[in-house]
Structure 1
Amino acid sequence: YLIHTNLFQLGSFKPSVSSVSLATVRPNVCALQQVMGTKKKYFSTCRNWYQGAICGKKATVLYECCPGYMKLEGMKGCPAVAPIDNVYGTLGLVKAISTQEYSHISKLREEIEGSGSYTFFAPSNDAWNLLDGEVRSALESNVNIELYNALHYHMANKRLQTKDLKNGLVVDSMYNELELYINHYSNGIVTVNCARIIHGNQVATNGVVHIIDRVITAVGNTIQDVIEVDDDLTTLNDVALASGLLDKLGQPGQYTLFAPTNDAFAKLDSDVMQRLMGDKGVLQALLNFHMLNSVQCSEGIMSGQTFETLEGHNIEIGCDGESLTVNGIKMVLKKDIVTTNGVIHLIDEVLMPDSAKQVMELLTPSQSTFSDMVSELGLSAAMEAKAEYTLLAPLNSVFTDEVMAIDQSFLKVILENHILKEKITLGQLYNGQRLETIAGKFLRVFIYRTAVCIENSCLVRGSKEGSNGALHLMKTLMKPAETTMFQILTDNGRFKIFLSLMETAGLTDLLKQEGEYTLFAPSDEAFAGISNSDLALLRGNMNALRTILLYHFSNGVFIGGGLETGVTNLLKSLQGNNLRVLHVSPNLSTFNKAVNIGNHGIFQCTLYEKPEQSYYQTDPEEIVQCFYSESRASPPDPLSITNIRNPLSSTM
């Protein structure tokens, strides 16, 4: 017969074109993709194109007759309905010649030619050739029992099309009702005992035939059974036993275990292995990080996909040609060891979750300078093995030549401010919290709508939690507040007029007392356009003076990184009206270094008038723009205010 295996290759095919649109020209034609350089083929539908590549290998799009149809000479597509036959005859129609021959010599032929309703998961010719030679010889030497039973294990005593093969379905086979394990993946791939259905739904008069890509064997062991008897998994067995999770591996479920071999564990330093074995909680995290709560057969993976482990964090499972990858690395030694409660893949590396690492092990290359400096200055050696810490690690870019030129003793003091003497996770931080460093200093936490900041530095994405500590990534070096706003303004020398007015208004204590404020402090230059007579007038009106000065204070600490960029931030002034703050800094890290923080809060920022608005004209919600220009070699120090504010609703 001329059947669906006739192929048409289109050199100009575009992946956006579906088999549906092609069918309007060539009826009953289905699309498939073949991995170049291999015999692997994948049927494609409108919902699961593989974008021209499968497991990183280029795929060629081909067309063939859809199941049940055939070509006719001189006509386009597959316009004829193929003849239907019983299961045995259908094996021949779909070119499963080896399975058909084995069915004949094992006396299975009479059964699948007769009455009944069967599903036959028939190995392809290539599948039989892939079978271990000794196993195949053993089957062929005992055709009436071993071969017959093996074929029966590939069969179910009812018709099941691929739409009936739901993910997680367990089907009784016709060999002693030993179970077949079905997985139906979102990409359309269907597997039985991890063997992929490569040609499905070949309808027969007494059932249906699905061609699979390997010979399957009966499954009777659990994951626990496998690791207890496999000589390559003795260390893993010890880990599972010590963690208290060994029995779980023998319970019903749908698991995937990436099982490190003995050699994989041998790659770990002996002190690391000793530490792991001495902590049951860490061992549980380690083992759970190697497990998924779903069955992921290798043939179900077409490209990189992220899966949540039982430990709670994600790993990426992908493929590179015939190799299965974990987190982009080829580490799978043996794939698809099918068990009654899942599947095992042997790997040659131990996957180490953050929860099993000590705090210094959480650092990555982007914080390598901080890691090196902490080690060189003796801070890491001083950390107690059983104590908990939190690292506030600046990124490598923070350690400029200027920073690295700082005296080592002073740099050590700075870095001590970046190590907390307790474990504080991201979710435990709250506004107003005080964090104690290993040097005994206290750091303040500020929580904003889109940022979490500690003193003058904000966190960036990448916080981690280890077995004895936590890691947070910081935009800049932190500088704890050590003096008051009053002292900073006085020492600077450019705020004499402002300080004088604060004294006249009786508000100087606001710059000295305990509290949390943000001050937009006008420098002496900000008063340059105001005549002495106007200043005298202002000093003579105490209510107006206090109102204007209090309009420069906001209740609460708002550092640059806590202000959202590109939107208007409304800050409530102590005067009562809102300040509208527009943060347009292109470089928050540089901006933060330019802002002084007292033990009350930030007090300097560039303040601009609204267009066409004088000092005497008022708007209770004037715009404040804080920015640092990229065109400057270094930020101005300090940033200052170009004009003072009058929030009154009438002219003074």
Structure 2
Amino acid sequence: MNLIGENGNFTIISGYFNNSSLNTTLAGDEPHTVFVPKDDAFKNVSESTLEALMKDPAALEQMLLYHVTNGTLMAENLANVSNITTLQGSELPVNVTDERTFVGEAEVLQANLTADNGVVHVIDAVLIPPKAPSEEKDIIETATEDGNFTTLLTAIRAANLTDTLKGEGPYTVFTPTDEAFNALPNGTIESLLNDTDTLTKILLYHVASERLMAEDVVNITNIKTLQGSDIPVNVTEEGVFVGDAQIIMKDVNASNGVIHAIDVVLIPPEPAPEQNLTVLYNDTVNLTEENVKFRNASLNYTIANLTDFGALYATGLDFNAALAQNMTGNVTNMTNVPFVFKSIEGVENNNTTGEMWFVYINGEPAKEYFGINPVSYGDKLNFWYTTGKSGEALIENATYVINITIAEMMAKDTIIEAAQNQTRLATFVNATETANLTETLNGTEPYTVFIPSNEAFNELPVETRNKLMNNTTLLRNVLSYHVLSGKYVRKQLASMNTVNNIQGDALQIKMVGENITIQNAIVTQIIVVNNGVICIIDKVLIPPDSGLLSDGNQTDGNQTDGNQTDGNQTDGNQTDGNQTEDQAGNWYFFSIPFKANNTSVDYLLSDVNYTSLIYYNASTRLFEDVSNIEPLKGYWINVPNGTEFNASEQFASVEKKQVTVPPSLQTYPGWNALGSPVNETISAEIAFTTIDSSYTKIVGPWVSGNNTTGHYQYVGYNGFNGTLGENQLGTEEFEVKPYEGYWVFVKEENLYA
């Protein structure tokens, strides 16, 4: 206390200490470390904050305790810790750069002022402790506090659902705003409040019995509600819709669930009207290649091969009154009107006398031709028979129905056997044999394999094809990159954004019109086989750590040899719309480990002869031209053949900007182009400690070759230690060098600093 009290620069904090319990603590024999703000630092604290502290001695005491920790921590000790536990109880973050030390938001201006019982470090800002997290409120309390759901809360009380939504849960509640209720026709709200049965059904149609965050909602097509009906989910460019309502505020957490605000009151669908209906036939069948026989049917249903779109070239089963009677033993009053279940050929009806078969799939009317309606295992098919009234046959007048559930779609061939029957997959078949993968893909474990066509392999550069055919380990790695564990049919793939292959790499899936794409390769055909699924694609997928050239057209997160195309790096070519394909010259991947006083490209690269400078924006997944060079980012620069670019030499004499807070950069899911945070070589474990919980892989540095060629030197895996393979390292061993660029794969948004 004497050291602090005798220094004329600490009069304010000294006065606070003298009037607190710390007066005794800091005068005692136990050692302490105190971060002391100069008097000038208090000028930057708002008047309202200072007034609140003066009126609340307990809060002032907490603020003072946040400046003190047990023990003696000299400056060299601070460099080895990332957090300090203060006497207040909260953690105080520590960040040490090449030349400066920060604790919280404050910079250490003068270090190591020693006293008999500890040490003082002078700082330039007052440290305010983080607010203690408040106890989370339940759904009802959270909605009440928001203030925009008063009508909904009134309705919940009227329907006696308050206790339910204050219960354990978890629940997801799609909460219409007061504006949504006001948009209902006049008198609707009053009518519902007087009809609690209907009101309860409507309210329960807004509630699901699980916690569904926004990221969960966008990955499903229907949500089961407590009312019993499903709410359809539709993700568009305009936003996320549940039923007819758009989610306008998402992920409002409560202790027993989550709230998503919506702009429309949802009305549950009306139940189908009861009909005087006779079920003629109700069966569960397996669709297998070759012959399928329905129960008691006299004819077989013959299937040539299976795809996600149903059974192709299926012939042989004619539904008619006589067949229905034979299958069930029921005598029917149907006219003997046939239709032929032929999948691709569709449903043929003889409707000359007014009778009609209506085909429904999972409760939805089939399109005109049955074969263009996806049919897969678990689907329910309904064939309704009705007679015409006034010359028109309507499904509402149906008197008979045949119900069929598809239990399974089974093929006789395995993945390799089915591929061998496709001449356009011969290259893949031969490659799997060379890579010793045939036995694996012929086994009983289910796999989904994205198989490039012969043409896709032929589009690879000759150098890449030669490397694959001459290196069995590399070939096996590339082929395994195309394999998923499990059976994924069209319906599942179309609902996914990413899927992990057997190597653990995340592959991106998109719907482009009616086409499924994976890493921007188009799935041209899907074939269901005995031990999985074959998806034929029009491009070979190149793993980011293989060092191979591709055809330059894969996108969205794959990096291989420096080619950038909407997130894909392969052979040094940039084709995002701003860079020309096959640009000549040499590519270099660099960064700058400090904030320059003048960050403009014109200044920093004024003496460099370059043809292109780009940065990959992970939030848009596009490459952008660069006007300023900032720390933490990785940049690609192209220089003419015969010239070189050395970032450490180029920026060696650049004047550094004195910053009060270390730079930071938002990272996004997928590949991010990053640079080292410090001007020295450190391990990836240390370099990326601020995003340790969210990144999985790092690739680099890039070793430039001649005329657009080059390769990445190492691949690092977060969570692993030591040397894993020839060029594969754990992050403890992976060295991150200043002035180099690196690709870092991030699972979720995080702040890199």
Bigger relative contact order, structure 1 or 2, given CA contacts below 8 A and separation 6+? 1
TM-score, length basis structure 2: 0.34
TM-score normalised per structure 1: 0.38
Q: Larger % of strand: which?
A: 2
Larger radius of gyration: 1
